[in-house]
Amino acid sequence: MPDSVFGFQPNSTRRPAQLAAFGRLLDVLDRLRAECPWDQKQTLQSLRHLTIEETYELSDAILRDDLPDLKKELGDVMLHLVFYARIASEKGAFDIADVLDAQCEKLIFRHPHIYGDAQDADKPVDEAAVKRNWEALKLKEKGNAGVLAGVPVSLPALVKAMRVQEKARGAGFDWDDPAQVWRKVQEELAEFGAEYGSGQPPADEAQATRATQEFGDLLFSLVNFARFAGINPEEALERTNRKFIARFGYLEAAAARAGQALSSLSLAEMDEHWEAAKRAGL
């Protein structure tokens, strides 16, 4: 294999320092678990919501492309991972070595084009082929359980839609080209419009249920089209959220500078400030 991947040159001289740092983290956690009342109290369940919070903070650092903050957030997430393994080891279930060895074995098994025999290594592969093979090998590992069985129930709905569609594609269930998907988007938009096109509240509970279902179908089809377009819908929506927040903050600041309450501005005045925010690059 080449020594570089996308221009990155592995620095083997750093490996002893990397291993030592990981060992130091384990040593620090061992002491905290033994001596700190807060750390002693933690369980798998008590850490769960904190881990979710740390993961979102890591995601924020990635979206901001803030590498110094990314380093800090990676450390926070890493602490949680070794903490879970430490608690599991106290239960006699497994330790961090078991976790890492299992992950290595899984990666090796799912990359036969890298770690397989000569016949596997000689097969030409591209990204799509690798992903299809990955999903097929996952099914084999799970004893051929349902294709969608591995999608976590608690995933946010937008992320879950993307993962469900990706897994279905890995099993060969997918559209042939983006034009078909776009026609499906238009179809779902029309069906939602038939239930809620007037913009007025549904006439009864039955219509409200149908409108909700059709809106869900519309969102699912848009996620499907985003997948074909190479767009991550969760990331796209979060970037739009951030853009809206920045522009709304500009609007609030402009009103404050003029000594006006935001609620006192007309929609036209608000729109002027909004357009100014856009011209300012927000």
Residue 250 lies in a domain: yes
Residue 10 lies in a domain: no
Residue 236, token pair as written in the block: 């796209």
Nearest to 86 by CA among 73, 76, 99: 99
- CA-to-CA separations, 27 to 102, 197, 242, in angstroms, rounded: 22, 62, 39
Instruction: Reply yes or no on whether the pLDDT at 259 is more than 80.
Output: yes
Residue 141 lies in a domain: no
Residues 25 and 104 placed together within one structural domain of the fold: yes
pLDDT band (50, 70, 90) for residue 201: confident
Q: What is the pLDDT of residues 223-239, one digit of tens each?
A: 999 999 999 998 899 99
Residues 187 and 217 placed together within one structural domain of the fold: yes
pLDDT band (50, 70, 90) for residue 153: confident
Torsion of the alpha carbons at 265, 266, 269 and 271, rounded to the nearest 10: 110
Domain containing 262 equals: 235-279
Residue 145, token pair as written in the block: 């359980």
Residues 247 and 208 placed together within one structural domain of the fold: no
Residues 69 and 53 placed together within one structural domain of the fold: yes
Instruction: Reply yes or no on whether the pLDDT at 17 is more than 60.
Output: yes
- Distance between terminal CA atoms of the chain? 44
Residues 65 and 26 placed together within one structural domain of the fold: yes
Instruction: Reply yes or no on whether the pLDDT at 278 is more than 70.
Output: yes
Residue 37 lies in a domain: yes
Residues 219 and 244 placed together within one structural domain of the fold: no
Q: What is the pLDDT of residues 82-135, one digit of tens each?
A: 999 999 999 999 999 999 999 999 999 888 888 887 556 556 567 777 777 777
The pTM of this model reads 0.64
pLDDT band (50, 70, 90) for residue 54: very high
Q: What is the pLDDT of residues 170-182, one digit of tens each?
A: 778 899 899 999 9
- pLDDT value at residue 123: 63
- pLDDT value at residue 139: 66
pLDDT band (50, 70, 90) for residue 2: very low
- pLDDT value at residue 43: 96
Q: Of 92, 109, 126, which marks where a domain is finished?
A: 109
Nearest-angstrom CA–CA distance, 89 and 72: 26
Q: What is the pLDDT of residues 29-52, one digit of tens each?
A: 999 999 999 999 999 999 999 999
Residues 200 and 264 placed together within one structural domain of the fold: no
Residues 244 and 272 placed together within one structural domain of the fold: yes
Residues 47 and 99 placed together within one structural domain of the fold: yes
Share of the chain above pLDDT 70, in %: 90
Instruction: Reply yes or no on whether the pLDDT at 275 is more than 90.
Output: yes
Residue 265 lies in a domain: yes
pLDDT band (50, 70, 90) for residue 67: very high
Instruction: Reply yes or no on whether the pLDDT at 277 is more than 50.
Output: yes
Residues 85 and 56 placed together within one structural domain of the fold: yes
pLDDT band (50, 70, 90) for residue 3: very low
Residues 207 and 262 placed together within one structural domain of the fold: no
Instruction: Reply yes or no on whether the pLDDT at 7 is more than 60.
Output: no
What one-character DSSP code corresponds to residue 8? B
Nearest to 80 by CA among 106, 43, 105, 107: 43
Overall number of domains in the chain: 3
Instruction: Reply yes or no on whether the pLDDT at 209 is more than 70.
Output: yes
Residue 139 lies in a domain: no
Residue 146 lies in a domain: no
Question: The domain that contains 55 carries what CATH number?
Answer: 1.10.287.1080
Nearest-angstrom CA–CA distance, 72 and 83: 17
Residues 254 and 212 placed together within one structural domain of the fold: no
The CB-side HSE value for 169 (13 A sphere, CA atoms) comes to 18
Residue 242 lies in a domain: yes
